[in-house]
Amino acid sequence: MNLSSLVRNDSINRINQMVSILARYGLADWITVDAQTPDFVQDKLVGPNGENLSDLSPEQRVRMAITELGTTFIKFGQLLSTRADIVGPKLADELASLQASTPADAPEIARMTLEAELGGSVEQFFATFDPEAFRSGSIAQVHFATLPNGREVVIKIQHAGIEAMVREDLKFLKILAGIAEEHSEQLKRFNPSALARLFEYTLMRELDFRMELSNMETIRANFEDDPFLHIPVSYPELSGRTVLTMERLQGYSIVNSERMEFDGVDTRHVATHGVTVFLDMIFRDRIYHADPHPGNIFVLPGQRIGLLDFGKVERIDEKTQEDFEELAYAFASGDTLLLTDELIRICAAPPDLNREAVRSDVGNLIHEALGKSVNQLDMKSVINGCFEIIRLHGLVLPPKMSMMFMVLIQLEGTSQGLDACFDLSQILQTYQKKSSHRRLAPERLARRFHRIFLYWEQLVNSFPRDISTILARIQEGRLNIKMDVKGLDRPVNRLVYGIIVAALIVASSMLWASRVPPLILGCSLFGALGSIVSFVLGLILLVKISSSGGLD
């Protein structure tokens, strides 16, 4: 693939910068150099130079390089941190710590962005506005303000020019994905181009703050009857694509353990209810907050919990939810057979998969993880170990499934930071029992039977048309039968082919002899057609044998 032909001149400086960073961290060998690679890239594809990075692990160097590459790649690294089945648990753990240190825009620039989005001056909408950013992230910065009615709010303002920069980086990322897919058989099975497109879709939604506002309102409505959970009130009239205005929570992050101890907060209650909230989102609502790290969870007065940052919210369909319930239960219960069967059923598996080897590896993993007590199951160890097994045997876990299991790992870590004895597996077993009851609920069974009925209706409606098409092709002499039996040598292929032809001859003869309708001139139509087809296939077999040197 000619990289020069895929990028515009105004992109070369950015690509040059990226390759320089990769080279400095000893990662430039990931890029294949050939005669078509541009000179400006070849000049930078050298070994590590400058700062000595030899004492760092490869995972650390990848994280540091991604951090230096900027917002788009930091976000991509965070996405890859949820795909331990692809990058491995060690790199996934390292990428999970990615944080951007993007400097805040100058006060006048932030003010211009805000006024352009709202269509008026700041004073027209707010009683007070702090021009200095309280916090700055990879995509936006946060300012404190007060509404005319005296309510305190925070305003999330997108960094100026960030969307244009992200779009440019996404172009290059998709080019790299295409190159990887074309030149690496190992990477091809993970479909990097599809992963890049999924990332583009996710990131562009995250750049649109109207999506985050919608997520907040949906989840707040789902938990409106929960007295211990508070979702910030949003202000749609003061929000838009690049601005989000919401209530300022009167609390602090659960990272502040000293403050919680001073205030006498029941950390076990916070841990238990926090996990319950997130599992309710997954098991009950099928829309969940996908970033449960401690910085997004606040302790509010009255031992309540507050949630922030709804940019990463995932939706799942009913089928994915049911698959996740089965896998989660298998993890929590330590059922080797169930876990193996569910993994193979849900994952994309290679044709030469050794099922017994998978079962053996899963059994060893469960045995090591369980130890002496099911009640002390280390979910992170089991899930990460399972990701390693998935990679070892060439399985590919669906992205949404991988994301949910990484959320479980984050939940366990966050909860055990509040309560060292917290056991996520017990709560998961409770949810699995609830989900089993929900599956047997009349309305859910009715929906399932309705879907099955629709599938059968489509099959019945299409069957006469398909038979008509086959008969028409037989009459026109255009019926082609293609057989592709892989993994067998030539004699066995011939044997299988011969058995199929023999079976077809016997079946056709039975139809003919039994005069199975419809009848034409007293003969069974299907019996006659089967005899003709089997005769043709038999001739083909004889020709193949003779042309390849007989029966040797």
pLDDT digits (tens, 9 = 90+) for 338-387: 888 888 888 888 888 888 898 899 888 877 766 545 455 677 887 888 88
- Provide the domain limits for residue 498: 481-547
Of 451, 473, 495, which residue sits at a domain end? 473
Asked whether residue 353 is domain-assigned, the answer is yes
169-189 pLDDT, tens per residue?
888 888 878 877 777 676 776
pLDDT of residue 197: 87
Q: Which residues contact 489 (CB under 8 A, 6 or more apart)?
A: none
Same domain, 403 and 462: no
pLDDT of residue 243: 97
pLDDT of residue 429: 76
Same domain, 353 and 457: no
pLDDT of residue 40: 46
Asked whether residue 70 is domain-assigned, the answer is yes
Asked whether residue 229 is domain-assigned, the answer is no
Asked whether residue 458 is domain-assigned, the answer is yes
Q: In the 3-class helix/strand/coil scheme, how is 411-463 assigned residue by residue?
A: HHHHHHHHCCCCCHHHHHHHHHHHHHHHHCCHHHHHHHHHHHHHHHHHHHHHH
Burial of 91 (0-12, 13-18, 19+ CB in 10 A): buried
Query: Residue 136: which H helix or E strand, with range?
Result: strand 135-136
Query: Residue 196: which H helix or E strand, with range?
Result: helix 192-207
Same domain, 463 and 339: no
Same domain, 349 and 397: yes
Same domain, 424 and 509: no
Same domain, 426 and 341: yes
pLDDT of residue 552: 45
Same domain, 349 and 388: yes
Q: How far apart are CA 189 and CA 9, in angstroms?
A: 32
pLDDT of residue 461: 75
pLDDT of residue 392: 87
Q: How far apart are CA 72 and CA 165, in angstroms?
A: 8
- The stretches in the chain having pLDDT less than 50 are 1-7, 29-38, 40-51, 372, 374, 487-488, 550-552
Q: How far apart are CA 394 and CA 150, in angstroms?
A: 58
Same domain, 411 and 344: yes
Asked whether residue 103 is domain-assigned, the answer is no
Asked whether residue 266 is domain-assigned, the answer is no
**pTM of the shown model:** 0.69
pLDDT of residue 122: 96
Of 391, 421, 440, which residue sits at a domain end? 440
Asked whether residue 370 is domain-assigned, the answer is yes
Of 473, 495, 516, which residue sits at a domain end? 473
Same domain, 430 and 448: no
Pick from 248, 249, 251: which is nearest to 265 by CA? 251
Same domain, 509 and 460: no
pLDDT of residue 138: 83
pLDDT of residue 239: 97
Same domain, 465 and 500: no
Same domain, 321 and 348: yes
Query: Residue 190: which H helix or E strand, with range?
Result: none
Asked whether residue 258 is domain-assigned, the answer is no
Domain count for the chain = 4
